[in-house]
Amino acid sequence: MPGRTLDTKKRRVFNSVFGTPPISQPTPVTTPITGFTAPGQAFGAPPLHNDTFSSQLSSPSKLSPPGTDHVQDQVRWDRSWHIATRVLNLPDFAEHRGVLEPLKPERESVGKDFYQALNVLIYPQTYVPLARQTEDIIAWHTSQVRRHFLRQVLPIILRLKKHEKPDAILLRVVKVLETAQRQYLHGLSFIKEHIDNSGLPGTSTPVVSRFRRDVYAVISNSVTEPILDILTKVLTSQVSYILGLSSPNGSTYSVVPEDAESERSRREILGLVESLKNVGLAGEQFQVTFAEVMNDSMTEYVNRGCKGIWSQLDLSGSQSSNETILPRTAHHPSPSRCVRDLCEWIENRYAKLAVQVLNMLDTKFNISWTDKEKYKEMSIGRLAELRINELYDIVVNWPHSRGALDDLRTAITTPQRRLHLTEVFAKTLSEKLLHPGASTLRILQTYISMIWSFHALDHSKVLLDRVAYPLQLYLCSREDTVRIIIAGLLSDTEDAQDNPITSSTDKLVELAQLLNKGSEQVGSRADDEELDWHDTEWIPDPVDAGPGYKRSKNADIIGTLIGVLGSQEVFIKEFQNIMGENLLKHDGSFEKEIKVLELLKVRFGEAPLQACEVMLKDIQDSGRVNSVIRKKQNLDSHGSENDAQILGAGSIADSQSKPSLHAKILSRLFWPQLHDEEYQVPNEIMELQEAYEEGFESIKASRKLTWLHALGQATVELQLEDRIIVEEVHTWQATVIYAFQSEDENIQRTTEELVTELGMDETLVRSALKFWVNKLVLHETSPNTYSVLETLNQEDRARSNAQASAPSSSNKDDSLDDDTGLGSSDGIGKEKMGMYWQFIQGMLKNSSSQMSLPQIAMMLKMLIVDGFPYSNEELQEFLGRKVQDGSLEVVSGKYKLKK
């Protein structure tokens, strides 16, 4: 290449001395087009260049006959064109051309004839008015530039792209483009100068700007596309440096504070934008790219700076700065940490960069410093979106996620966002929680967190109501909901060492804590709140509150949970059941139950809880009555204590001491239905019971005792050959082991024997046997035959010790508990059978003459006020009995009344 430039240089020097060889003129004075040669000129001979030309130029008015003038003008035009274009012809573009290299054509090399030719070309009307074919020299130059650019410059740029780092490529591209542009403008500058010299001042401006625009268009159209990805890369990395989003250590997810590095990047990017603008690459495409990069980095910042950061702001930060940093809409008494950080970041870094860069570009929009408020609101929107997606986890982490809720509260300002929030949350909720895999306890715990969290988010409960509905519905389908809630209410809030239990895996301790705190006032404060003129915290009802919206200031967890259950009757009934169970199972003063009962009375009023109160009173009274009777009947004897519920019987004692019996006397009408098993109590107990009965009847003549054998507790002391076992067991378990009491060391008993002898249900016998086998008291010598394990071998002893050291409560929690649970009896009880039968008859007679099992079950569940606690299988069995006795028939899987 250098050789070639040298060549052209030489030629130019030569030409400047000797003139351009006329032979190279494509349009000689005499051309075949004209048809004639001028008089006195030889056909085809080289024209007398200088003479003709200058004379023609100097005296256009002297032009003679129209025919020849026309030809002459055309020829002059053509020649001028040739001269000018040859001079202005762009040289080849050298890839590694130095910036300082002079531009061609050099000004000194341009001769006078060039300017004369330009005159003709620029003002054809004046100089060659008759030339028919004229063209615009500027348009020619533009198109030559375009061609030149596409043929020579663009390939260089595309080649650059292949090998080099993005930012280096970009610099090179910019450089190449600058050089090319200089070249193009240089060519134009001749024309411009000429116009400026010959015409009115300022006439060149539109010409130049049009040219510049055209060139920019060419460049940005052809270059932007191929280098767009590079541009994006460079912008992304620079912007992320400036905004502190780069993570030099790879995985550090934090925001880098402003430092020298980011300052350097800032300068770099501004320089880059400046030069891009100069070469015409800062067009719309660039702006779009920049906007995208900025947009992404805002999301990135929100993700990085705020994701999972839910803790609350420590209020040491200066409060005063809030006023200026937070946007107007985000002002709030308790500032949230992330929102503040975000706004600071926007203010100090983001908006600064955006405004600086955008101000350098010619955009249609006027970006000013005040636009930062817009950015802030946008970023808060992003934060809201992030938090909304995190909301489920935030809720689960309550109360450690208060900060996140503050963020949300700041950000959730429009009904649309509120709606969006509830929609997203409801969806997550149903995906993550409302499925069979989640335990009812977990659902309830989450629900409690939800109530807290949403209350913190929005005191109005409107949001909560919207998301809680499916949850409530789902909870209704869980059978153990009520039980868990009540168990939670009744659970211990302090462990054995008086340390508060904050969470538990099997109970809703939270409820007990709430109840104990008593901070939740119940009442109708909602009604008079409107009139409370002193309430400085008053805010209007949320705009999206439904009709009938009622404000309520506190979260009222218990109230809400009980509300879930539909009616308080259901709740109270279950409470009664569970309390009854507790009262029968344990001794003591039942302080907890009394307390819960008192608190529930505050909530529900006295009347609905009357039965519970009677139950408590029964238990308290029976303590007194018990001692009176025992004294009277001389039942007090020493020996292991047998604690029988009123109707429960104690049992076993060891051979030396006599058993003793304590009873709890229940008022039948006020207790939930108690499920009893009939069986033969041991004779000793029977005698005690009779004596007790006598004593009772002498005190309360009008009343009669009925014993519920299976409901008691018995303390059993077993003396075996090598050990003594003391166990707190169910009475029926005690009865079974009592049957093994014998002088005979090797007594063996079969299951059948026990069933007939004790008159006890076989399943009960079996479970009692299993219980004692587990306790290593009995062992199964052959199938269904058991004998006492008087001595333990080594291995068994180890097991026994291990058992003893395990908490004794766990022993009672085996599968047997359910057998004595209140109300949970097998099959459908006789008392209720009649009523259910009425219902079934009623529906088969009136609603639909044929119904399937699920339909009937559904009807019963929905229509019986107290609920229908039986499973479909139990119902099926019941219906089966009705089919057997001929009241019903089954037609193609559906039940029908027999006529």
| Site residues, other proteins (CB under 8 A) | 378, 381, 385, 414-417, 419-420, 465-466, 469, 543-544, 546-550, 835, 838-839, 841-843, 845-850, 858-859, 861-865
| 541: its two tokens | 């009802």
Q: Measured from the CB of residue 480, what is the shortest distance to other proteins in angstroms?
A: 23
Q: Measured from the CB of residue 462, what is the shortest distance to other proteins in angstroms?
A: 9
Spatial CA neighbour of 407 closest among 425, 424, 389, 427? 389
CB closer to other proteins, 360 vs 570: 570
| 73: its two tokens | 């003008």
Q: Measured from the CB of residue 381, what is the shortest distance to other proteins in angstroms?
A: 6
| 319: its two tokens | 């409060």
CB closer to other proteins, 470 vs 639: 470
CB closer to other proteins, 608 vs 639: 608
Rounded to whole angstroms, the Cα distance separating 275 from 725 reads 94
CB closer to other proteins, 588 vs 842: 842
The CB-based long-range contact list for 58-64 (8 Å cut-off, 24+ gap) reads 60/126, 60/127, 60/128, 60/129, 63/130
CB closer to other proteins, 473 vs 804: 473
Instruction: Classify 126 as helix, strand or coil.
Output: helix
Instruction: Classify 897 as helix, strand or coil.
Output: strand
With vertex at residue 601, the alpha carbon angle to CA 598 and CA 603, rounded to the nearest 5 degrees, is 120
Q: Measured from the CB of residue 560, what is the shortest distance to other proteins in angstroms?
A: 12
CB closer to other proteins, 256 vs 858: 858
CB closer to other proteins, 354 vs 857: 857
CB closer to other proteins, 77 vs 836: 836
Cα 741 off chain centre by: 64
Instruction: Classify 155 as helix, strand or coil.
Output: helix
Contacts of 633 (CB under 8 A, 6+ apart): 691, 692, 694, 695
Cα 742 off chain centre by: 68
Contact criterion met (CB below 8 Å) for 657 and 640? yes
CB closer to other proteins, 155 vs 415: 415
CB closer to other proteins, 76 vs 551: 551
Q: Measured from the CB of residue 355, what is the shortest distance to other proteins in angstroms?
A: 21
Main-chain dihedrals φ then ψ at residue 471, nearest 5 degrees: -65, -45
Cα 347 off chain centre by: 27
Q: Measured from the CB of residue 552, what is the shortest distance to other proteins in angstroms?
A: 13
Rounded to whole angstroms, the Cα distance separating 88 from 278 reads 23
Q: Where are the alpha helices (DSSP H) in 714-791?
A: 731-738, 751-758, 762-774
Q: Measured from the CB of residue 835, what is the shortest distance to other proteins in angstroms?
A: 6
What burial class does residue 340 get, using C-beta atoms within 10 Å of its C-beta: 0-12 exposed, 13-18 middle, 19+ buried?
buried
Contacts of 245 (CB under 8 A, 6+ apart): 239, 255, 256, 297, 300, 301, 304
Q: Measured from the CB of residue 240, what is the shortest distance to other proteins in angstroms?
A: 23
The DSSP bridge partners found for residue 718 are 725
Instruction: Classify 887 as helix, strand or coil.
Output: coil
Q: Measured from the CB of residue 303, what is the shortest distance to other proteins in angstroms?
A: 16
Taking the alpha carbons of 476, 480, 486, 488 in that order, is the dihedral positive or negative?
negative
Type of residue numbered 478:
R
CB closer to other proteins, 714 vs 840: 840
Q: Measured from the CB of residue 562, what is the shortest distance to other proteins in angstroms?
A: 15
Q: Measured from the CB of residue 529, what is the shortest distance to other proteins in angstroms?
A: 16
| 98: its two tokens | 């130095």
